[in-house]
Structure 1
Amino acid sequence: MAATIPPRAAYAEDPSKSRGRKVAEAESLTRTPFARDRDRIIHATAFRRLKEKTQVFVAHEGDHFRTRLTHSLEVAQIARSLATALGLDADLAETIALAHDLGHPPFGHAGEDELQIQMQGYGGFDHNVQTFRVVTKLERRYPRFDGLNLTWETLEGIIKHNGPVTDKLDRPSWSAITEFDAEYDLRLGGWASAEAQVAALADDIAYNNHDVDDGVNAGLFYLKELLDVPLIGPHVASAFADYPDCDHGIIRLEAVRRMIGAMVEDVLAETRRRAEAARLASPEDVRTQDHAVVAFSRDMVEDLSALRTFLMERMYRHWRVNRTRSQARRILAEMFQLFMAEPDVLPTEWFVRAQQRDEAGRARLVCDYIAGMTDRFAIEEHRKLFHLDVWN
């Protein structure tokens, strides 16, 4: 039996009622404003660079592990499915999902940690803020404005998909958000749309599942070790029971597929329960709640916490991952310090801009240059700068 697409929910965003863009533009004749935002993100240079930015494993370690690009596509697929099932605007949920990692530097969280250290005294670094700066300033593709000039709803969702952010605005790294908000109010103290919340939960579903998949695939732990781990364990057991003679690689994929399904069903049930209890009648009702509308159940949150504890111990802190993390941080630290001391080794267009800035401004420019690098480019750039056997 074919799936039935539910009617539009009363609390779904309506693209025909979008609050528009900071710089007014004529509407597209073929796309809604949110679909147009999605297309602008897909065509952005920063989106293409995600193909060689790491999740856990550095991009050169193997072709089968997730990158930021494949992760973003998985998040977008889950977000679109969730939004459709809830009667929300699938284009907006997909757009925010595709954009959510644009500001990540090379080498994942290790890269972010190192840039935060190097930027102490210069305003700090935060990948969520960097994502916002990418779509509002750093992408340069249009003659009338910097950035992508996305709709209010997309910008709100990008910066608030994890919830209100007023408690972060006193951090130096969030000054760019404060400045933008002063000119274009994003209501930073309230929740974002249900579509943005869907994108946030889709991110949780995607990365927890693919980290299990990648961890087993990398040999950091074995499939049968997951049998006693909450959330994933029952799905591994049921897959073995249903297919006792099947290759373990297929069992791994089947268990992950079942876990994704279980997490999706949990989000749908809990969200419907909360929406009904709150009697949501408009998108505005979502923003004025004192809690998230799109959420996991309490039982799922507990099981997910246990799974994350396992992954932290067995994967994220594995000595092989620690070793690449250590190498990555040294690469970024050495490049940052060299570019600050000798800006004339930057590419010409970046050097020209560096000359026009004070020390703090130059540090931000160097940070932007490094943050935009892919893993592979960062490794090669470091080799050219620090190894005498490379003379090009």
Structure 2
Amino acid sequence: MNNKKRILVLSSLDHSLINFRGDFIKSLVKEGYKVYAGAPEFGEQKLKELKALGAIPVSYYLQRTGLNPFNDLKTIFNLKKIIKENNIDLVYSYTVKPVIYGSIAANMNKTPVVSLITGLGFAFTGLTFKARTLQRLNEFLYKLSIRKNKTIIFQNSDDYQLFLDRKIISKHQKVGFVGGSGVNLEQFKTRVNENSTDVISFIIVSRLIKEKGIELYLNAAQTLKVKYPKAEFHVIGAPENSPSAVDSKKLNMLNDDGTIVYHGPQNNIPQHLYKRDIFVLPTYYREGVPRSILEALSVGLPVITTNTPGCKETVINKKNGFLIEPQNLDKLIEAMEYFLINKESIKEMGINSRNYAKEKFDVNIINKNLLKMINNILNPTTAH
């Protein structure tokens, strides 16, 4: 049994390994790989869950926010040691810091790397001086780290084009494409789409930062609640410390006066989605393919999101929802009001969402593609 090939799946958060890569880890284990799951620290519950999937949790040093050359070097050498000591055959890394530092560490050990670009985040919005400075730095670090990687996987073609345009990678580099982390269609079953009441309810599930469009959603709710007092505007997300975080006092105030229903962070997202009618994410953050939208599609909700990289892949405009221009409050209000006026289209667009999730974002299809890419590297003679 010791001749199993060993894969290190590298993340920046323990819960992400379960929530976003749990099905993928299961697929790797089933395929006969020995899977190590790397994160900076593990809660007891997540340790149990990862072990139940058949993975071996490995903690490594990482300062998740900010940049400090000494801390970053410490991360690289810590990862290099982990890769060497566990005889890792391939590193599969995702999100910015694990991709950059995991790639450098693996390259130092001459260990193959497959890295997944899960969206470029705040740094690539170009909206502020800080964002532009971070973008230049991230471009430099990506160039330094991923050029020797066996495969770089993108979640949308816009990110790939940007990496080419910025000369972060060359057009000869081996790349792959997947529709986000995928969605488990069994876990997010289609809802019984029969709203017999005259209450139309909207929901946003997101990090509560301005770039995700939460302020726009709150402003739209304030406008629409006056005209449609029965409409409901639900918000799920944890308060954040980020400079662009939405003021929790504002959330609580709008909740108390009945404009919104603020649930805070929640673990049972499917149960909340089943009870709502329309999913909204007016983000202008540089997304990969937002997992929250995939979950809403799978449940069978129409989706209102922005015509931006990663989001525009999830909606066929006017078929399963609406694509609006980012940071445009009037267009957001118009799209939301459409469903308040045309209640009958909620069911039809919701069915189209579920069908689109089945066709394009089923986690089994996505994991099959990922496994094929990994098998081609580790078992080229038997790859299927």
TM-score normalized with structure 2 length: 0.29
Name the one with the larger helix percent. 1
Structure of higher RCO (CA pairs closer than 8 Å, 6+ residues apart): 1
Name the one with the larger strand percent. 2
